[in-house]
Amino acid sequence: MDIELKSNLKKIADTIRSLSIEAIEKAKSGHPGLPLGCAELAAYLYGVALNHYPKNSTWLNRDRFVLSAGHGSMLLYSALHLSGFNLSIEEIKRFRQLHAKTPGHPEAYVTEGVEATTGPLGHGIGNAVGMAIGQKILKEKFNNEKYNLFNSKIYCLAGDGCMMEGAASEASSLAAHLCLDNLILIYDSNKITLDGPLCESTSEDTKARYRAYGWDVFEIDGHDLDAIDAVFSEVKQRQERPTLIVANTIIGKGSPHKAGTHKVHGSPLGEDEVKATKQALNLPEDKFYVAQSVYDYFNRKLEKEKKIEENWNEMFSTWANENPSLFEEFKKMQNKTLPVDLEDDLKKIEMKNPIASRETSGICINYLADVLPFLYSGSADLSSSDKSFINKFKQISHDNFKGRNIKYGVREFAMGTISNGLALFDFFIPIAATFLVFSDYMRNAIRLASLTKLQVIYQFTHDSIFLGEDGPTHQAVEQIASLRAMPNLHVIRPCDSNEVKMAWLASLNYKGPSALILSRQSLANLDVTNISYEKGLSKGAYIIKKENKKADFTIFASGSEVSLALEVAKSLTKMDKDVRVVSVPSFELFDKQPKEYKDSILKGDLGKKVSVEAACDCGREKFIGLDGISISVDSFGISAPIEDLKEVFGFTVDAILQRLI
């Protein structure tokens, strides 16, 4: 490495260390170990390796860096500030403070230059795999012999904790299967976890594990800039597979009394130790000091990066002029443009009657894939059962990224994290499909999608005990309520084909995650739900049978139980009872309605309020109050045919009438 460059990178690394420990100490909160230990790696990435333009953080062909070990966020914030992103020194000083752009763990869309919301360990690796898949799709779709538009790399920094999490293993296995030659995973191997030495919990050979997956593996001293440069240069020039770079580092490097121990992982150093660390590393005593030479280095780099971006923009413009049809598809994917008449077109799709809502959704997916080039579907080894496969297109494979289906294998958690990465890549709305009961495997990934408001659509099928003979291990009971408890997640349980179609319209229009809760068993199509999106499903809850004068009963139902509620209402009417029936496909959409509308559904002379849903009794008091009657499932299921289950759990007209009369 050039002597002058090496000197500059050392200054950058020292500045990252200084800013990081000072911000953490000022906040009296944070994780100084990783920023102290990985400073050379960050200095090299932001000072040399990354092909991006910080003044335009959304440049389309930028290299992306994901900090999977999100607890080390000050490493990232320091690097972003120094390299020219819109992150001021004042925000560095406000680390972990209210409404700061420097939250405790990195959050996409909060801090410019942060590519993914990370913190729960292992997630960032899955996000990076998703981004790498997204980049490969764009490369195959839009590059040609004349124009190499998309050739960026995805870099990810992970720690010992990330490498132990199962999600990382699942994602890494799939990355090798797809031969992602644009993915570089840096393993900060400091052999320390929060609780103590790594050897107390792990004795595996991680390098051998990754070689077995099918990765190329390198090992370096993570503090040696020459070694770092040599390996990264080689990988960048000749990468053929996903690459793991094991960087041996000292956690808390420079801290005289805490370096190399778990004491430096998750707590501030303390004023005395900060001072001692600065002395040991020969850092300036002034707080939040950045040498002008460091800013000058990055300013010179910015000029080069600006020119690279300008040249790329010129090439892209020429490509667009020469390839108008491809450019039109590119714009549709980038803007996620929906056809103006999509509601009418969905309504025109013919469905058999009765039909399982999973099948209806599968038909909708196949129709939508033809008109929405950004819709990509994936399933955790269940596409033939959850009906998520796009039949017109092949599956993505190591030698074909023109497909529109991703077979994740039995890797639900990885599917969740990878789908988040695809959504973060901005050109895709990914579908992630499995049985509802298995949403538990991917719950934390769904949570981060909800936190970040990523537009991922989950197709969760086999939605209740009524899947039948597979029994309680597969019969969902508590999952719907669990998902409804998650902020920003739209949970939609449609009752028939009409509501399924409008559920897709709702999901495509919502800039956040949606979970479609779908049946295995066939459901009758109802005339009363064949209304406009605006009058029906968009409301979250709407009247499908109105009382004549004053209701004796108001029945709230969702999904497969709506038709049952109507049958109960018919029997009650024969007993001279006045009944209102309300379909409740989505609590979240209902909550967003004006007070006047909600009052029209919930208040007035409604008689006895009843809820009918084949799931646990949790959350429905907002509709029926504390005195209402809840027809629900508050134990685990039983392995039996569906008709027997209806009898045992009280989901028949006679059983419900006995509860009401």
How far is it, in rounded angstroms, from Cα 483 to Cα 598? 22
Q: Is the peptide bond before 354 cis (omega within 30 degrees of 0)?
A: yes
170 is catalytic: no
Q: DSSP letter string over 298-345?
A: HHHHHHHHHHHHHHHHHHHHHHHHH-HHHHHHHHHHHHTPPPTTHHHH
The amino acid that residue 572 corresponds to is L
Decide if 158 contacts 125 (C-beta within 8 A). Answer: yes
How far is it, in rounded angstroms, from Cα 579 to Cα 548? 8
**Catalytic pick from 343, 359, 412, 547?**
412
In the chain, the N- to C-terminal Cα span, in Å, equals: 85
How far is it, in rounded angstroms, from Cα 78 to Cα 85? 10
How far is it, in rounded angstroms, from Cα 195 to Cα 577? 64
Contacts with 82 (C-beta within 8 Å, 6 or more apart), sequence order:
12, 15, 16, 46, 290, 294, 295, 298
Q: How many CB atoms lie within 10 A of CB 280?
A: 14
How far is it, in rounded angstroms, from Cα 358 to Cα 559? 11
H/E segment holding residue 554: strand 553-557
H/E segment holding residue 514: strand 514-517
How far is it, in rounded angstroms, from Cα 111 to Cα 265? 23
H helices of 545-594, in order, are: 561-574, 587-591
Phi, psi of 531 (to 5 degrees): -130, 175
How far is it, in rounded angstroms, from Cα 651 to Cα 580? 19
Contacts with 491 (C-beta within 8 Å, 6 or more apart), sequence order:
480, 483, 484, 514, 515, 517, 586, 587, 588
- Cross-strand pairs, 631: 612
How far is it, in rounded angstroms, from Cα 392 to Cα 384? 14
Joined tokens for residue 465: 């005990």
Q: How many CA atoms lie within 13 A of 636 on its CB side?
A: 8
Residues annotated as catalytic are 412
